[in-house]
Structure 1
Amino acid sequence: MVRNPERRAALLDAAIGVLAEEGARGLTFRAVDTRAGVPVGTASNYFTNREELLAQASVRTYERFMPARAEWDNVLSGPRDRAKLAEIMRATVTRLAADPNVYLAALELQLEATRRPELRADLTARVRADLDANIAFHEEAGMPGGRDTVLVLYLALNWLVTEYLTLPGVLASEGGLEELATRVVNRIDLEG
């Protein structure tokens, strides 16, 4: 296999674009090569088969979801109260929605995982580890609420971003993405 990390990342970014725009059925080596603007056959030199391409695209979506260092530093500065939690959740949903292709590709990968047990196992492990890390970080940072708070925010805000990107008209009259994230935080029980 070829070992050019920049080219590999560009191919995975192209795969994310294909997944978001054409779905998992449209994800072929040729489609990735075309989208990346590289010669036909390039993707097949980097990934042994379609299953590996899907698995690595799912890893790349998580890399692209990660917040910048400044966002992490902001979490650890100032008071640990409901207002701070709302600020963090607004930043999170804004980051997730900022590049719709990444979020939509992640949804496509989850749908594809219902048909591919190996992809399901990989995604389940990655998402569970991410949720556990978020719970641990929330608790270690001394944010209000606990495990249940993180779980409720995870469920509500993931669906908020999904709805915002896939059916924006449903919530348009209810407020913008950041306003809705704030409303979620303001209505959860931080004492339980």
Structure 2
Amino acid sequence: MARNPQRRALLADAGLRVLAAAGARGLTHRAVDAEAGVPTGTASNYFPTREALLGALGERVFERYAPDEAVLARLAARDPSIDLTTDYVRYIVERTTREPYVTRALIELRLEAARHPELGRGLAEVLRRGYADDVAFHAAAGLPGGAFEIALLHYAVDGLLLDLLTTSIDAGFDVDEVVSALVSRLVGGAAPRPGVARD
């Protein structure tokens, strides 16, 4: 199997663009090669099967979603509060809408995973790991709420992203106001996590 990580990332990014634009039916190794501008057969050297390609795209989405450590450090320097939680969620929405095709590709992957159990198992593992990481981060930061509230935020933000990046209900509300209301209503009544040391 080919092992050039830069080429692998280039191909995975091309695959995300193809998936977002053409859907799962349009995602072929040949289409990825064309989108990446590489010789035919390159993608299949890195991702020998369609399942391997789809799995790699799932992993790549979360690499692309990785937060900027400097932004996290600025946020972490603040005292835990509902306002801080709101700013974390705003940052998530900003990251996941900055390049809309990445989130559209994830939506397509989730739909495809519902049709193909093998892909579903792999993608579910990635999604669960992301959720567990979010819960752990939230607890370590001493933010209000716990695992249930983080799940509620995931459900709500996923719906918001679906509306922002696909055919919208076009309700006309400001995204920042929506995020603020979601956090306030879903987490606002929860107490800070006990046992978290403060500096």
Q: TM-score range by the shorter chain?
A: over 0.9
Map of 1:173 onto structure 2: 172
Contact 1:97 1:103 (C-alpha < 8 Å) held by counterparts: yes
- For these two proteins, the number of residue pairs brought into alignment is 190
In the alignment, is residue 32 of structure 1 matched against residue 32 of structure 2?
yes
Q: Which has the higher helix share?
A: 1
1: CA distance, partners of 2:151 / 2:51:
30
**Length-normalised TM-score, structure 1:** 0.94
TM-score (norm 2): 0.90
Q: Match for 1:190: what amino acid?
A: G
User: What is the CA-CA distance between 1:71 and the residue it aligns to?
Assistant: 2.6
Gapped regions of structure 1 (runs ≥ 5): none
Distance, in Å, in 1 between the alignment partners of 2:75 and 2:122 is 29
What's the counterpart of residue 195 of structure 2? none
Amino acid at match of 2:172: S
RMSD across aligned positions (CA) = 1.3
Amino acid at match of 1:62: F
The offset of 1:45, in angstroms, is: 1.6
Q: Which residue of 2 aligns with 1:183?
A: 181
Distance 1:79 1:171, change over 3 A: farther
> 1:149·1:190 contact (CA, 8 Å) conserved in 2?
no
- Check whether the contact 2:61–2:102 (CA below 8 A) recurs between aligned residues: yes
Structure 2, unaligned runs of 5 or more: 191-199
**1:54 deviation in Å?**
0.6
- Which letter maps to 1:173? G
SS at match of 2:115: coil
Moved over 4 A (4+): none
C-alpha distance in 1, partners of 2:26/2:88?
35
- Structure 1 equivalent of residue 42 of structure 2: 42
Give yes or no for contact 2:100–2:165 (8 Å, CA) kept in 1.
yes
Deviations 1:46-75 (A, max 9, x none): 111111111111110111011111232133
Any idea what SS the aligned residue of 2:188 has? coil
**Alignment partner of 1:129 is 2:129:** yes
Are the equivalent residues in 2 in contact too, given 1:94–1:178 (CA < 8 A)?
A: no
- Amino acid across the alignment from 2:184: N
Mapping of 1:1-192 within 5 angstroms? 1-168=1-168, 170-175=169-174, 177-192=175-190
Q: Tell me the secondary structure at the aligned position of residue 9 of structure 2.
A: helix
Quick one: percent identity of the two aligned structures? 41
CA contact (8 A) 2:34 2:40 kept: yes
Verify the 8 A CA contact 1:138 1:146 in the aligned structure 2.
yes
| 2:143 match: secondary structure | coil
Does structure 2 conserve the Cα–Cα contact (< 8 Å) formed by 1:18 and 1:31?
Answer: yes
SS, match of residue 23 in structure 1: helix
1:164 deviates by 0.7
Task: Determine the C-alpha separation between the residues in 1 that align with 2:96 and 2:170.
Answer: 17
- What whole-Å deviation, never above 9, does each CA across 1:101-155 have from its counterpart, x for those lacking one? 1101111111111121111001111111111111111011101122222111111
Query: Are the aligned partners of 2:58 and 2:126 in contact in 1 as well (CA < 8 Å)?
Result: no
